[in-house]
Amino acid sequence: QVHLVESGGGLVQAGDSLRLSCVVSGRAYHVGWFRQGPGKEREFVAGITSTGSQPFYADSVKGRFTISRDTAEAPVFLQMATLVPEHTAIYSCAATKVAWKDRPHLYDYWGRGLQVTVSS
């Protein structure tokens, strides 16, 4: 059994930063962050390999968001900078056995997600 628990969401103002965390129990997996905005489909945000050595990002967040983890057992963080209202979404972390995946259906386990709201 693999469980993922996200934390760190909430209401922030435009221009603020926010750090989300994802605690993964069980085996070491590759982890991705996804988001689903109002009326939108779920989209990939960032991913990282099980050892934390290789992060990868959606083009829309490159240079603004940073995903990290120190070890395979450590939490996975998503540092989000200079947030704008368009970043408002439910953010979820997910785990997969195969690295470098950016499609939701390729992830095996999901957290419940948390709300991030950016006010203007």
- What's the confidence (pLDDT) of residue 62? 96
- What's the confidence (pLDDT) of residue 27? 79
- What's the confidence (pLDDT) of residue 7? 98
CA atoms within 13 A on the CB side of 99: 10
Alpha-carbon distance of 24 to 71, in angstroms, equals 11
- What's the confidence (pLDDT) of residue 52? 80
Token output for 35: 């988001």
- What's the confidence (pLDDT) of residue 45? 98
16-42 burial, b if ≥16 CB within 10 A, otherwise e? eebebbbebeeebbbbbbbbeeeeeeb
How high is the mean pLDDT in each 10-residue block of the chain (120 residues)?
A: 94 98 90 97 96 92 96 94 97 94 95 97
